[in-house]
Chains A and B, each alone.
Chain A
Amino acid sequence: MNDSSSRRTAWRQFTLLAALAPFAASFADAPAYVPAAAQSSLTFVGTQQGEKFTGRFKDFDARVAYAPDQLATSAISATIRIKSIDSNSPDRDSALVGSDWFDAAKYPVATFKAAGIRMTPTGPVGDAELTIRAKTQKFAFPFTWKSEGGKAILDAKVALDRIEYGVGTGEWADEGIAGHKVEVLVHLVLVPVPAPAAKH
């Protein structure tokens, strides 16, 4: 009696699992990663008085959930701390965090989110939302993904228009002083987040 009832329970569990199997992939979350700070970078290339300069944000957090076969739960989010800007010129940095530009005192962080990730012939593309100075812009976010021995490398390049975010407007909108187009290069060396239980 005991024997048969436990067998029946086991059978029931098996049929349930079998019935759910096709959906298993969508129930499992895409594996989550965080960037290794030392190897990851968030760089930008701007133009000042006809000359390109490179800067970076040294302090940012990111969380990436991604697997090519688990796109529904794949997503990217990041928080960038404006004051960590370094454009290889302390004078320029102090101007950039000032109220005419990023206004770091009022808007200390920029946030980035990408979801709706889909596979295209050229690679994965997400729908991104970037918020700087409380102004949000949406754009397509193509990126490349490489898995290497448990780690993953995400690279992306997007061109932004600083005016759309209110960064350096008014008299600073003069392109002879500073170009509107800013290229952003994302290079994340990602390590897995241990387990959902370890989430804080």
Chain B
Amino acid sequence: MGLRSTSFAWGAVARLLHWTMLALFLAIFPLGLYMADLPLGVHKLRLYALHKSIGLTLLALALLRFAWRLLDRRPELPPMPAWQLGVARLTHILLYVLMFAVPVSGWMFNSAAGFPLQWFGLVNLPAIAHSSPSLKQLAHTLHEAGAWLLVALAVLHAAGALTHHFVSRDRTLTLMVPWLRAPGTGGKP
């Protein structure tokens, strides 16, 4: 399996980015929900620092992933009804938008709160907004709503992929999970 994608499957780079981002999201999302209600203390600040570090990592990966998607080819989807293609396409576009919007709104939230931004204690990043209670409120709302929308879309995306695999029994899921065999082809991809 090469680094680049083929017409039959996503390449190693695309797969690594896809699954790494999922794993990081599964860590950062519950962390974000948990940390917000903690009482102020060093523990809370450390968890925020971790959340921000993972978030910056996800933002960098989103940039990389988007750039790679522009350069790399995309596998061909198996035949499916037009409405499914439409929903899949819209879901993918929104997921890409949120991959940027959620971390950027978090960064804005942090800047508007007047807090520092550090990546794993190593590098400090500048504020992207002035300290402002009203902007802080707005960015917080966007960040939270965006994250929940991302969860909803990711669930829809996964449900679609699983439906194709187990119900339509086509090779959609095998594009991203290459060790899977397409169910309908008797073992041949």
Contacts and interface: CB of A to CB of B under 8 A. Distances in A.
Nearest to A170: B42
A122 interface: no
A98 interface: yes
A17 interface: no
Interface string A46-58: 0011110100000
B49 interface: yes
Interface residues of B, number: 17
Given A88-B131, A89-B131, A95-B40, A51 B124 contact: yes
A171 B41 contact: yes
A49 B131 CA distance: 17
B27 to A, nearest CB: 20
B40 A92 contact: no
Interface in A176-200: 176-177
B40 A98 contact: yes
Contacts of B2: none
A53 B116 CA distance: 8
B166 interface: no
B90 interface: no
Contact of A177 (B45, B114, B131): B45
**Which of B115, B124, B133 is the most central at the interface, judged by chain A CB atoms within 10 Å of its CB?**
B115
B114 A87 contact: yes
A53 B111 CA distance: 12
A172 interface: yes
16 contacts: A49-B118, A49-B124, A50-B118, A50-B121, A51-B118, A53-B116, A89-B115, A89-B131, A90-B113, A90-B133, A91-B113, A92-B115, A171-B41, A171-B42, A177-B45, A177-B46
Given A50-B118, A50-B121, 14 more contacts: A49-B45, A50-B116, A51-B116, A51-B118, A53-B116, A88-B131, A90-B114, A91-B113, A91-B115, A92-B114, A98-B40, A100-B41, A171-B41, A176-B121
